[in-house]
Amino acid sequence: MDEPCIALLGVKGGPAIRPGSNMPTSILLRLGGRTILVDAGLGVTRAVCDQGVALTGIDLILVTHLHSDHYLELGPLLHTAWTAGLTRPVPILGPPGLRQYWERFLDAMAFDIDLRIADEGRVPLAPVADLREMAEGEVWRDGPLRIEAILNAHPPIEESYALRLWDGARRVVLSGDTAPFAGWDAFVAGADLLVHEAMLTRGVDAVIAGLAHPDPRLKAHILRAHTPAEEVGALAARTGVKALALNHFVPDGLPGITEDDWVAAVRQHWDGPLHIGRDGLRLPLG
């Protein structure tokens, strides 16, 4: 992963996995000479390695919001990178609650961590996470690489972000989890690649029906916190992005819904280059 590229490590929306489903959300980018991880859902550690990237080679981590499908494996990722030889601090940007998550992860694993420090001579693990709070605006600048964040619309979570990454030549916009919101078009405009979450509204009822304990609150949450795939196509058309990749599929792995359904929904409004995400899909950023 030396050339500029993006890898969709996990493209499933929501935390539950089942036989045949994709894995929850993580995205790995190589941009501006840096290796950047956005979100750290379940499976991220294995998925980074499967891209041929050493765990010790991650330069920066951003967490878009504190739904578990976006950060459940952050602690295990850092712990595993530490056992793989990571000794330097890794900057991690995310909502304020991330600090509590990290401190309590360290508490939960204290026996093992203390043992490895005493018994194997490892450096302390706590400082390996250089935690910083995300806020709107430019959140990172490093050589040619610039990263900007904007609050998106993912109720009831208030601190949920979309990201724009730029290396001076390429602009990549990542939606995070979001419903459409004012200001989104302007943030997306000019993107060489837009990676956007997507929902098939007709599939939501099937998701709810498949649950052991269906609750109407879940359907209401999904519908007000995500973007229908048709809307994603309309957004791409309005803003003139050069390419679109769908990820964070709701539903995912449901019998009767195929790639063709996602393509058909987007194509109602947009006919540009379209990638339907799957776990491990790597796209060059030419």
Which residues carry out catalysis?
A: 69
Please give the full DSSP string across the chain, using - where no structure is assigned.
--SSEEEEEE-BSSS---TT-----EEEEEETTEEEEE---TTHHHHHHHTT--GGG--EEE-----GGGTTTHHHHHHHHHHTT--S-EEEEE-THHHHHHHHHHHHTHHHHHHHHHHH-PPPSGGGEEEEE--SEEEEEETTEEEEEEE-BBTTBSS-EEEEEE-SS-EEEE--S-B--TTHHHHHTT-SEEEEEEE-HHHHHHHHHTSSS--HHHHHHHHHHS-BHHHHHHHHHHHT-S-EEEEEEES-S-TT--HHHHHHHHHTT--S-EEE--TTEEEE--
| Token code pair at residue 55 | 């765990």
**Nearest distance from C-beta of residue 78 to Zn ion, angstroms:** 20
Instruction: Catalog residues that contact Zn ion under the rule CB under 5 A.
Output: 67, 69, 177
108 in the Ramachandran plot: left (φ > 0), alpha (ψ -120 to 50) or beta? alpha
> Closer to Zn ion at the Cβ: 159 or 261?
159
Rounded to 5 degrees, what angle do the CA atoms 120, 126, 128 make?
Answer: 85
